[in-house]
Structure 1
Amino acid sequence: MKYTTILILSLLQLSASFLMPSAPAGVSRQLQSAPSDVEDAVDYSVPEDAVVVIKPKAMKRLRELREKEKTDNLVLRMGVRNGGCSGLSYVMDFSTEDAIEEDDAVDEYEAEKIKCVVDAKSMLYLYGLELDYSDELIGGGFKFFNPNAEESCGCGSSFGV
């Protein structure tokens, strides 16, 4: 049994060397994935140390909503509240410049004229969150990818820490 395992591992290493040739000495090999779709390409600048990173498909949808609201600037307020399947739910709504408080974290996507505002309490849970969007018929809408969540519900709108 022991020799069979060694033989299988050796064959796997041998086949891997044919499939992935080694890089020249001193050169590290990185896998680079090209965007699968033009919509996945980032055509805007993400604020340095952003609390919430807005992905390209979500940015496209926010641009559409800004145009639909017929406003020059879009203020998107994001936060969390108690409730939902896993303990905490995401909250997202439009706001105004006047409603931004002193202790709010504000990510300004200047060229897009979009501000993402997160209150101080929610920032503990949302820091590093990636906001994406899906236009699927079932399960479509804004999607939250939260590195702070230890568990998440199936619908994706609540999480636990």
Structure 2
Amino acid sequence: MVQAVPSQQRGILLSEAALRQVLFLRDRQGKDLCLRVGVRQGGCSGMSYLMDFEDPSKIRSDDEVYDYDGFKIVCDRKSMLYLYGLMLDYSDAMIGGGFQFTNPNANQTCGCGKSFGV
């Protein structure tokens, strides 16, 4: 059984707007899913963000798990080196809307906000 980190020690933070949107998208899937957040090599700034729903049965013992009132955000430890302190926000603005990543570890970001460099 994987233990979730208490709310005051979350390494990945969600704004209320982001949490509402993630829960809305999850509910459209029609099943209980967690959100996996990570990074991969690539993107115009060197690394790009990954974010996708995943079945909770795929949570590994070495994953970091953060609980938001029963909804879990999961991140592998390697990605957490680049994402610790990340704030995920959401805007429904017609221009520039969608999920926004504010990463305190990034020393450069691209114009689209979906990739970064460290």
Relative to the length of structure 2, the TM-score reads 0.90
SS across alignment from 2:22? helix
Could you tell me which residue of structure 2 aligns to residue 101 of structure 1? 60
SS across alignment from 1:147? coil
Aligned residues: 113
CA distance in 1, matches of 2:57, 2:23: 21
SS across alignment from 2:57? helix
Query: Once the two structures are superposed, what CA deviation does each residue of 1:59-110 show, in whole Å capped at 9, x if it has no partner?
Result: 1101211221122x33000000000010000000001111111110000112
SS across alignment from 1:48? helix
CA distance in 2, matches of 1:102, 1:67: 26
Q: Given the alignment of the two structures, is residue 66 of structure 1 paired with residue 26 of structure 2, yes or no?
A: yes
Percent identical: 52
Gaps of 5+ in 2: 1-5
Letter in 2 for 1:82: Q
Letter in 1 for 2:101: F
Query: Once the two structures are superposed, what CA deviation does each residue of 1:27-63 show, in whole Å capped at 9, x if it has no partner?
Result: xxxxxxxxxxxxxxxxxxx812101101011011012
Higher helix share: 1
* C-alpha RMSD of the superposition: 1.2
Could you tell me which residue of structure 2 aligns to residue 89 of structure 1? 48
Bigger mean CA deviation after superposition, 83-92 or 137-146:
137-146
CA distance in 1, matches of 2:14, 2:86: 9
Letter in 2 for 1:67: D
Could you tell me which residue of structure 2 aligns to residue 125 of structure 1? 82
Letter in 2 for 1:134: S
CA distance in 2, matches of 1:127, 1:114: 19
Gaps of 5+ in 1: 1-45
CA distance in 2, matches of 1:48, 1:103: 20
Letter in 1 for 2:25: L
CA distance in 1, matches of 2:25, 2:45: 29
Higher strand share: 2
